[in-house]
Amino acid sequence: MGLRDYFRVARRHRWLLAASVAIALGVATIININTTPVYAARVTFFFSSPVTMAGELYPASLFNVGRLSTYGELLTSDEVVTPLAATPGIDMDADQIRAAIASEPLPDTVMMEVSVQDPDPDRALLLLTHLTGRFERVVERLERPTPVQPSTVNVTVVSGPALDAAPVSPDVLNNLALALVAGLIVGAIGVVGREVTDRTVRNAQALQVLASAPVLARVPRDPGGALVSRGPSARTEALREIRTRVQCAAATGSVKTLAVTSAVPGEGRSATACGLALLFAEVGQRVLIVEAELRHPRLAAFLGRTDAPGLSTVLDGGAPLEQALQPWGAGLWLLAGGPAPPNPSELLSSARMTDLVEEVRRRFDVVIFDCPPLLPVTDAGVVAARADRTVLVVRAGRTTSAQVTAAVRTLGAVGAPLLGCVLNMVSRKGPDAVPNYDTYLSGPEPPRGGQGGGKRQAA
């Protein structure tokens, strides 16, 4: 996969990324709100040794640098902490005071920064103030060789004691940043997992590889739900593309009967078959659409016609073909499914069905069979075997690759030639959307700058 493919996957599952980030930020916000603020007071000590000669400066400096770690331990020693625990206003025991004190030598200096953290900012500053005085006295006493001699180390406060303006905990911005990163990581893992486990067919390239047959068109969703639109419509243009492919196939061979089927129910095969029938009639051909779905016939009701008599009635000898045909627009007829029979597979594979296919082939220019799905029952395979070509309708983002493969194998097993596939109900938005040519389909814009004064636009 290239970088563009990764962006396409991220765009396809953007809701998962957004949800993951939103949850992580929500958890971080709850933590920030429920965490008790902790304030820090800081002071910086400078350590020096009194020298009388310039040559003693460097050794004295090295001496003080080497003692910084010792002074850091001295800050939490009983010598310093125990008296502080008895100071009025602090109300902390020795262990709590030790936990509140932190020290850090400043690199390449003889200075050390000491901080005291506490939920009460006033107590933090009070504790640090008493700690500063106590620490200075203890260091100078311990670094005095004898009681009558001066201390070899002088402790000077160069900064503080001072209270930080903002609490050190919780770090709101840092927590939100970490939550954002964590949300993106978890979301990315979820996106990869969902993409790896997603076996649905989403684009024409994958469908063509699975079916080993050309993709006749990508048919987008129609917001109005019309079979064929009179005005500009991307769905109608996609159906016209299928009609053109069928006409090209008819030019090189006999293609008068066309079976339209799908792998499973709910893929829009009936709407595709009806749309194609309307478009073939649009160019002046005599078209018959046959509802070969005998188990759950509903095409007649869908088109506003009666379902009796129909195909099942003709096949069991209850009515002649002429009586079952219903006109439906100029140059278009409907042969409904009729009453649901108890033995649809036997009727569709009977000699009467063979004779009926030959008869409608003689009487009409184009015959389109709206077949049931291939995988649940064998009815579609029986009809497809008698048709000149078969069109397999696949619903984008719903039909799985295994279902497409099984449907193609079923057609191959009955010797039904597959003309191609239709990727149906393709989204109008997103990484796998059909190209948007609505501006072009709506017609040219009126010229600007007065009548006849605009420049000629390229077609």
Residue with tokens 């000898």: 317
Contact partners, residue 276, CB within 8 Å, separation at least 6? 239, 242, 243, 246, 258, 260, 368
| Confidence (pLDDT) at 53 | 46
Q: What is the pLDDT of residue 128?
A: 92
Q: Cβ–Cβ contacts within 10 Å for residue 261, how many?
A: 29
Residue 93 located in a structural domain: yes
Q: How far is CA 275 from CA 176, 279, 439, in A?
A: 53, 6, 23
121 shares a domain with 49: yes
Q: What pLDDT does 62 receive?
A: 60
Q: Please indicate, yes or no, whether residues 52 and 79 belong to a single structural domain of this protein.
A: yes
Euclidean distance between CA atoms 200 and 444, whole angstroms: 38
- Note whether residue 443 is domain-resident: no
Pair (292, 191) in one structural domain: no
Tell me, yes or no, whether 139 and 230 share the same domain. no
* Whether residues 264 and 407 fall in one domain: yes
What string of H, E and C letters represents the secondary structure of the chain? CCHHHHHHHHHHCHHHHHHHHHHHHHHHHHHHHHCCCEEEEEEEEEEECCCCCHHHHHHHHHHHHHHHHHHHHHCCCHHHHHHHHCCCCCCCCHHHHHHHEEEEECCCCCEEEEEEEECCHHHHHHHHHHHHHHHHHHHHHHCCCCCCCCCCCEEEEEEEEEECCCCCECCHHHHHHHHHHHHHHHHHHHHHHHHHHCCECCCHHHHHHHHCCCEEEEEECCCCCCCCCCCCCHHHHHHHHHHHHHHHHHHHCCCCEEEEEECCCCCCHHHHHHHHHHHHHHCCCCEEEEECCCCCCCHHHHCCCCCCCCHHHHHCCCCCHHHHEEECCCCEEEECCCCCCCCHHHHHCCHHHHHHHHHHHHHCCEEEEECCCCCCCCHHHHHHHHCCEEEEEEECCCCEHHHHHHHHHHHHHCCCCEEEEEEEEECCCCCCCCCCCHHHHCCCCCCCCCCCCCCCCCC
- 155 & 255 share domain: no
Q: For residue 239, is it within any domain?
A: yes
pLDDT of residue 226: 65
Structure tokens that stand for 316 in this block? 């069991």
81 alpha-carbon distance from chain centroid = 57
* Pair 317, 415 in one domain: yes
**Residue 107 belongs to some domain of the structure:** yes
* pLDDT computed for residue 453 by the predictor: 41
The count of structural domains within the chain is: 3
- Token pair for residue 125? 């500053």
In a domain, 422, yes or no: yes
Contacts of 327 (CB under 8 A, 6+ apart): 333, 334
116, 31: one domain: no
CATH code for the domain of 82: 3.30.70.1130
Tokens found for residue 355: 């004779």
Q: Answer yes or no: do 139 and 234 share one domain.
A: no
Q: Strand 101-105 relative to strand 111-118: parallel, antiparallel, unpaired?
A: antiparallel
Domain CATH code at residue 235: 3.40.50.300
Q: Domain boundary at 163, 185, 220, which?
A: 163
Q: Is residue 432 part of a domain?
A: yes
pLDDT per residue of the chain (459 residues) written in tens, 0 to 9: 566 666 667 777 788 888 999 999 999 999 989 988 999 999 999 888 775 444 444 455 566 566 788 888 889 999 899 999 888 888 899 999 999 999 998 887 888 899 999 999 999 999 999 999 999 889 888 887 776 677 778 889 998 899 998 888 888 889 999 999 999 899 888 887 777 777 888 888 889 999 999 999 999 877 666 677 666 778 888 899 999 999 888 776 678 999 999 999 999 999 999 999 999 999 999 999 999 999 988 888 878 887 778 899 999 988 999 999 999 888 999 999 988 888 899 999 999 999 999 999 999 999 999 999 999 999 999 999 999 999 999 999 899 999 999 999 999 999 999 999 999 988 876 555 555 655 555 555 545 544 444 443 333
Please report how the helices 121-142 and 57-74 are oriented relative to each other, as an axis angle in degrees rounded to 10.
130
Residues 142 and 214 in one domain: no
Whether residue 378 lies inside any domain: the answer is yes
Both 118 and 262 in one domain: the answer is no
- Flag whether 445 is in a domain: no
Q: Which domain range does residue 192 map to?
A: 3-35+171-196
- Same domain? For 183 and 210 the reply is no
